[in-house]
A and B are shown apart, each in its own frame.
Chain A
């Protein structure tokens, strides 16, 4: 069964450092998403991406965040200067259509900012 894969599974970084989280969506999917889950809290939408541009983004997705699809297979989330409150599990997801279609999620990347 096709999977969304995410790397790294866990990253520890110092506050102020840049972090790049990587995702390989399912190959025929066109819509890509990043979500995050702070420990013990709900899964929060960050950004959606289609046709090489951001479709929607939440208030969380400020200027410190960016997304890119650099090579047609990877989908990356960059945090420019990490803060303590960025510590969370970050989930990538993809779908082949918008609307009612199902998102397929990766296993997540746990980011710990010290």
Chain B
């Protein structure tokens, strides 16, 4: 069964500094990987996904993530953090088989960007 680990409950970063939110996964075969963000009182919003191809994926709001197969990681990054990036970030994985397989989420990492 697939699983996702987000080792950090909280990440604090100063505005303008680069940020990284870590994610590792476990799945049979080549994974479909996703990042979602949740702002207060809102649903989960899609940021980016990796399906195949270039290991560096670019998404919304200047975020990017790098797929590393040998390390089974899909860390979320942004070169320069904004206060408005403060939110809860979820990494998710889906096994690449036919049918309506579930998206499995990590427990989330709260990002706090300090002005």
Question: Which residues of A does B touch, CB under 8 Å?
Answer: 4, 6, 31, 33, 35, 41-45, 48, 50, 55-56, 58, 91, 93, 98-100, 102-108
Contact = CB atoms under 8 A, between A and B. Distances in A.
B99 A55 contact: yes
Interface of B: 32, 34, 36, 41-46, 49, 51, 90, 94, 96, 98-108
Contacts of A58: 102
Contacts of B51: 100
Nearest to A97: B100
Contact of A31 (B41, B100, B108): B100
Contacts of A105: 36, 43-45
22 contacts: A33-B102, A35-B105, A42-B107, A42-B108, A43-B105, A44-B105, A45-B102, A45-B103, A55-B99, A55-B100, A58-B102, A99-B32, A99-B94, A99-B98, A100-B49, A102-B49, A103-B103, A105-B36, A105-B43, A105-B44, A107-B42, A108-B43
